[in-house]
Each structure stands twice: as structure tokens, then as C-alpha cells.
Amino acid sequence: MTSTLERHYGEGMLLEVLVDGQADNYYFREVVLRGGETGRAAEFGLIEIELNRFPEDLHQAILSGGQPLGGILNETGVTYKSRPLGYFSVARGILPTKLSALGNDDLFYGRFNQLMGSDGSCLARILEILPDSHQP
């Protein structure tokens, strides 16, 4: 989704890590992707990354939280594809207040997605929630 958001907003995306953690070969994080020039929130995401599916030399880049996973994969030439599993809408009233950066719309939209490696293995599972991109 990172490259799609960058094209849509016409600017690079910066990663703001709200919470992260690691258990065994799994790295979890809760993030907001923001426009690099405007700082505008473009996405809230929850991601579970299977570290053992990546070359060891990428682990530090992933764990540092300095860049979205999609950006790391694109820059390093790791082959992957996105496999959306479902789409949903969610009412503002049931979202946690920390998502207020996404705006004041009454309804938000999102998807459950998987990033799949070239061998068919799951690299990451992602829940993404987007604001209304037409709002100022």
C-alpha cells in the first residue's frame, strides 16, 4: 500500500511507530503512515511480519521502524505481491481515540491484506485503515 499512497498523495510516506514488539520470529507494530512533506496521516496499520521469511541483512532495517515494510522491499528488490483477503468499513465511534489523526469522518474504510513471497509463503499480515482522501 505504501507505493499506492505515495502515488495518490504525490509525496513519500514516513512511518510513525505507535507500538511495537517481538515474539519468536514475529515482529508486530502499530503504525501511522504520514506524508513526508505535509505530515498528513494517510493510513493506520497493524502489521505482523514473519522475520524468518526475510534475509538476515534486512532484519535490522525492518526492526528499526524507520521505513514502511513496502519501501524496504521495493528498495532491496525482494519479490512480493499483495493479496487482499477482505475489505471493511468501520464507524468512527468504535475506533480508539489514537486514530483521531485520520480525521473526523463518520466512516472509514480498510482491508485485511497479506504480503506473499515469490515462493507463496506469507511475509506479513496487515490491517489497514484509511481516511477520506478527499478531505482537506
Q: For the segment 98-111, what is each residue's pLDDT rounded down to a tens digit?
A: 777 777 777 888 99
Q: For the segment 34-55, what is each residue's pLDDT rounded down to a tens digit?
A: 888 888 888 899 999 999 999 9
* Per-residue pLDDT in tens (0 to 9) along the chain, 136 residues: 777 887 888 888 889 999 999 999 999 999 999 888 888 888 899 999 999 999 999 999 999 998 899 889 989 999 999 999 999 988 877 777 777 777 777 788 899 999 999 999 999 999 999 876 555 4
> Hey, what domains does the chain have and what are their CATH numbers?
2-130 (3.40.1410.10)
DSSP structure string for the chain: -HHHHHHHHTS-EEEEEEEEEEETTEEEEEEEEEETTT--EEEEEEEEEEGGGS-HHHHHHHHHTSS-HHHHHHHHT--EEEEEEEEEEEEGGGS-GGGGGG-S-SEEEEEEEEEEETTS-EEEEEEEEE--TT--
